[in-house]
């Protein structure tokens, strides 16, 4: 039966336990696939790819795939490929974002950025290789997914990762750095730079099911859109309120680079209110689904109140 935001409370213990289940599945699948796919790749490229994917990530985007897939009763084994594809795309984007030509960050997940651990050329190649690896694993013959499902997934992920999605958002973000902007422009940047991959992770999970309707895809896409934007608003807030140790990356980096952020644009209190508004809207959208959306409701709550 449909759930509403009003009848689901946040249970931190159960939420953390379920996330741990998804995280363990992602890590097990990731380690197995990297060993298989990189068995013929020479170091240091393989080492840089492993370093950037196995260095303690929360597996947030993989978790979204698993959670959405479970909501739509997709076979668990059919979710590993899209979950790993999201993690590979995310890892590649972080490698490239940290480069001196981009955000010039020295710290990622509490460890030296890939280009510092290895070198810039190896980091660029590792990012390139992880990007193509995502589409390799998503398009390989898979007994748990039909060819039609795989094609839809490849199309969705390509669009979310490219010029109209993440890469385009990064370009707009760089162009806007050091300039005055408005909320509509900032939202467009972050819907693409951060939100696109979060939204598509939920869509891929739904596409792994054999009985997801077009209307349900629209609903989960809208939920993902709102959660993705809320995630970035909170990211901006944490950048000015948390330490580097807590974040696992350099705090205050946005201000140092004169980037446009929600706290800078509207103030910290209003930014927090906006994040809460987005989360509430996301939870309301889930009420349209006649599925078990309890975990997704709690995920929205976590997005607003996370500390790193």
Q: What is the pLDDT of residues 72-105, one digit of tens each?
A: 999 999 999 999 999 999 999 999 999 999 888 8
Q: Which of 110, 126, 131, 119 is nearest to 55 (CA)?
A: 110
**How far apart, in whole angstroms, are the C-alpha atoms of residue 123 and residue 95?**
6
Tell me, what's the pLDDT at 221? 97
| Mean of per-residue pLDDT scores for the chain | 88
Average pLDDT over residues 230-235: 92
Q: Residue 295: its pLDDT value, please?
A: 94
Q: What is the pLDDT of residues 121-174, one digit of tens each?
A: 999 999 999 999 999 999 999 999 999 999 999 999 999 999 999 999 999 988
Q: Residue 41, Cα to own-chain centre: how many angstroms?
A: 27
pLDDT at 174: 87
Tell me, what's the pLDDT at 240? Answer: 83
- 10-14, 112-116, 135-139, 195-199: the lowest-pLDDT one: 10-14
Alpha helices in the chain (DSSP H): 12-37, 45-53, 60-71, 80-97, 114-117, 120-139, 147-161, 166-176, 183-190, 196-207, 214-241, 244-247, 253-256, 262-266, 268-286, 294-305
* pLDDT of 37: 76
SS3 107: strand
Banded model confidence at residue 308, pLDDT cuts 50, 70, 90: low
Pairwise CA distance, residues 155 & 217, whole Å: 15
pLDDT at 117 over 70: yes
Q: Which whole number is the average pLDDT over 9-28? A: 87
């Amino acid at each position: 039966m449909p759930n509403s935001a009003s009848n689901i409370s946040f249970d931190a213990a159960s939420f953390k336990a379920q996330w741990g289940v998804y995280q363990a599945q992602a890590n097990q699948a990731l380690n197995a696939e990297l060993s298989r796919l990189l068995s013929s790749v020479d170091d240091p490229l393989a080492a840089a790819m492993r370093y950037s994917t196995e260095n303690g990530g929360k597996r947030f985007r993989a978790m979204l795939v698993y959670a959405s897939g479970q909501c739509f009763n997709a076979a668990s084994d059919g979710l590993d490929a899209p979950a790993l594809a999201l993690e590979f795309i995310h890892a590649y984007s972080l490698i490239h974002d940290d480069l001196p030509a981009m955000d010039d960050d020295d710290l990622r997940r509490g460890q030296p950025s890939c280009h510092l651990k290895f070198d810039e050329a190896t980091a660029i190649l590792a990012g390139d290789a992880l990007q193509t690896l995502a589409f390799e694993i998503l398009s390989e013959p898979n007994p748990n997914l039909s060819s039609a499902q795989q094609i839809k997934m490849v199309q969705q992920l390509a669009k979310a990762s490219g010029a109209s999605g993440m890469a385009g958002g990064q370009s707009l973000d760089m162009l806007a750095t050091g300039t005055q902007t408005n909320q509509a422009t900032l939202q467009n940047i972050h819907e693409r730079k951060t939100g696109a991959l979060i939204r598509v992770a939920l869509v891929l999970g739904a596409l792994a099911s054999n009985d997801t309707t077009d209307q349900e895809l629209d609903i989960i896409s809208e939920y993902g859109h709102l959660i993705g934007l809320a995630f970035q608003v909170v990211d901006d807030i944490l950048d000015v309120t948390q330490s580097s140790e807590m974040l696992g990356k350099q705090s205050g980096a946005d201000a140092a680079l004169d980037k446009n952020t929600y706290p800078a644009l509207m103030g910290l209190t209003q930014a927090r209110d906006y994040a809460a508004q987005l989360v509430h809207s996301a939870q309301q959208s889930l009420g349209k689904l006649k599925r078990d959306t309890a975990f997704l409701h709690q995920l929205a709550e976590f997005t607003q109140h996370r500390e790193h």
